[in-house]
Amino acid sequence: MRKKETSPFYYFLLFSLPVIALVILLTLEFRDRRIEEAGNQIRNLKELVTARQIYRNVIYTEVKENLIVDKRSLFTINYVVTAGVDLSSGFSLKTDDNRIVVTYPYPRIFSIDADESSIDEYFALERFGRIKQSDYLDTVFDEKERIRREAVESELLERADRNLQSLISGILRDRGISDIRFEPSGKGGGGEV
């Protein structure tokens, strides 16, 4: 009785399949490590400002301390509004069918700062008293809420979101990851200051 000969193709498959499996395993492990490193690098950015806008505001103040003292002022001042994302919490990178899913908190307004160096005074009436910072400081502070609403209406948060997605996409593409889906959480509300 003759022994059946094994074909060379059989030996090729027998030795090449484990090698192919090992290469695939190492590639996936390397990819997962790249994703984890990228996630840690992005998370370490913490509070990332991704949009900034300057609003110029006209303010009128009037202070009458008594019948004699009359102080009035009309001036403009710039408010610098910054928006972005706090990546230290709520940020994650996950793999979903060969796609990276980026979850992050929706951008919020970080700060609204009045820039006193930008004050341009157009009108000042100082009758028996000098205009002091305390005469207009409350008015400048009260305008911050209106500026916040205006920033939200002008889509500053949407611009901050687009800029963040562009930044994260660039970081991930530098690591060879191109199929990315973004899932912001907690959209809306305008954030807190």
- Answer whether residue 3 is part of any domain: no
Q: How many CB atoms lie within 10 A of CB 167?
A: 15
Alpha-carbon gap, residue 124 to 112, rounded angstroms: 26
Confidence of residue 166 (pLDDT cuts 50, 70, 90): very high
- Where in the sequence is the domain holding 115, given as residue range(s)? 8-185
- Answer whether residue 87 is part of any domain: yes
* Mean pLDDT calculated for residue range 99-125: 83
The pLDDT score that the predictor gives to residue 83 is 92
- Answer whether residue 190 is part of any domain: no
The mean pLDDT of the chain is 77
**Residues 57-87: tens digit of each pLDDT:** 887 777 676 677 667 777 888 999 999 998 8
Between the two ends of the chain, the Cα-to-Cα distance in Å is 89
- Answer whether residue 15 is part of any domain: yes
Number of domains into which the chain is organized:
1
The pLDDT score that the predictor gives to residue 119 is 76
